[in-house]
Amino acid sequence: MKILLNSRIDLNSKPGGDTLQINKNAEQLRKLGVSVNISTELQPDLSQYDLVHLFNITRPHETYVQFQNTQKQNKPVVLTPLYQNFDMWDRGGRVGMQSIFMKLIPDKNTKELFKLFTRALTNIHLYPQFFAQLNNGYIQQQQKILQNVNALLLNSDLEMQLLKKDLGIHNKYFVVQNGIDAEFANANPNLFEQKYGIKDFVLCVANFSSIKNQIKLIQALKNIGIKLVLIGKPQINHKKYFQIIRKEADKSANIILITDASKDMIKSAYASAKVHVLPSWFETCGLVSLEAGLAGCNIVSTDQGYAKEYLSDFAKYCNPADINSIKNYVIEAYQSPKSDLLKNYLLNNFSWEKTAQKTFEIYRDIINATDK
């Protein structure tokens, strides 16, 4: 079995949760004897592959070209949509000029076309995709991909509910939940505590972009005397947002801002923290919440997205638009004793091995069905 995992062109230069998901799946599928390649090309040669696995229709301008390529080369294709609805973020979470434009443009197709145009200003290779989206429409591109792949591999049932509600999609689908590295259960706090001299703080691990909502988190925890540690990397399209975060951190002795943490340091921070909070405007899963939960943190997650399908009743869920909601849930989690209930639940239910095994079985069945 030869499989191509085909994803966005900046998968590696701008890593995110999808980067981890793709790399971990590839690693585990190879252990099952599957020949797997990862490509970020828009129109790769598919002649050697039995099936193509696409990712992400939140930015369909790339996925649409890759999907068309599978149709031209007559290859079976599945899609992990990683679908997100950014309406709430656009209304209340952006800063600077982004905020002004998102509020002035009510139509979603126009709004997304504008986002793509701004990216194309600094990347001429995006112009063909911009004109394709101008001609076809953002929502229409999403719908065409979703309706015409052989199957959808979703991260949760909640994702399918939202696809039906937002886009009217009723294609064949399977829920293939993300895994988690068991190594986080053995995280040690010493490395972090020796370097920074604190423990039992509130932690947020996330890239510094406005969708992650760190500014409202800072506002929520202001003047309550709890140390807040923010770990992440600044994002090129969110420079203004990071400048605001840095300014707030410089003003407060209770905020520690870390932009260069190694994986070992992040693991140690998880183990040292009392609470991990991810108040994003939307999360398909929130892999950092799983990592932090496995390391023993009490968890506060966003109520927007699909996190509850992973964290169940072992976490608290805040409204990202409501500072008091964030504040109250963080305080409640901070005042609660640590427990192994979430850790044990995650260990028993989620692993990349399980994810890969289910993915392999879906690949096999679709390939067999198309060969008949």
pLDDT of residue 86: 82
How many CA atoms within 13 Å lie on the side-chain side of 248?
22
CA–CA distances in Å: residue 160 to residues 69, 307, 363, 366: 25, 14, 20, 20
Q: Which amino acid is at 12?
A: N
| Alpha carbons 363 and 350: distance in angstroms, whole number | 20
Question: How high is the mean pLDDT in each 10-residue block of the chain (372 residues)?
Answer: 94 86 95 96 95 93 94 97 86 72 71 73 73 81 95 95 93 93 94 96 95 95 93 87 94 94 96 97 92 96 95 96 96 95 95 95 93 68
pLDDT of residue 121: 67
Query: Residue 151: beta bridge partners?
Result: 78
Tokens of 33: 């004897």
Cβ burial, residue 107 (10 Å; 0-12/13-18/19+): exposed
Residue matched to tokens 């197709």:
109
Count CB-CB contacts under 10 A for residue 287: 22
Listed by start position, the domains of the chain span 2-85+137-179+351-371, 182-349
| Alpha carbons 280 and 306: distance in angstroms, whole number | 12
In what helix (H) or strand (E) does residue 173 lie, and over which residues does it extend?
Answer: strand 173-175
The string of DSSP letters for 111-139 reads HHHHHHHHHHTT-GGGHHHHHHHHHH-HH
Same topology, domains 2-85+137-179+351-371 and 182-349? Answer is: yes
Contact by Cβ (8 Å): 85, 162: yes
| Alpha carbons 301 and 326: distance in angstroms, whole number | 9
Contacts of 194 (CB under 8 A, 6+ apart): none
Residue 310: name the closest of 271, 355, 274, 349 by CA.
Answer: 349
Q: Are strands 275-278 and 2-6 parallel, antiparallel or unpaired?
A: unpaired
Tokens of 361: 């079985």
User: Check: CATH 3.40.50.300 for 2-85+137-179+351-371?
Assistant: no
pLDDT of residue 271: 97
| Alpha carbons 274 and 331: distance in angstroms, whole number | 11
338 DSSP 8-state letter: P
Q: Which amino acid is at 200?
A: D
pLDDT of residue 94: 75
Q: What is the CATH number of domain 182-349?
A: 3.40.50.2000
Which strands, in side-by-side order, build the sheet including 202-205? 255-258, 228-231, 202-205, 275-278, 298-302, 316-318
| Alpha carbons 228 and 222: distance in angstroms, whole number | 10
Tokens of 310: 């992973």
Count CB-CB contacts under 10 A for residue 6: 28
Query: What pTM did the predictor assign?
Result: 0.88
pLDDT of residue 330: 97
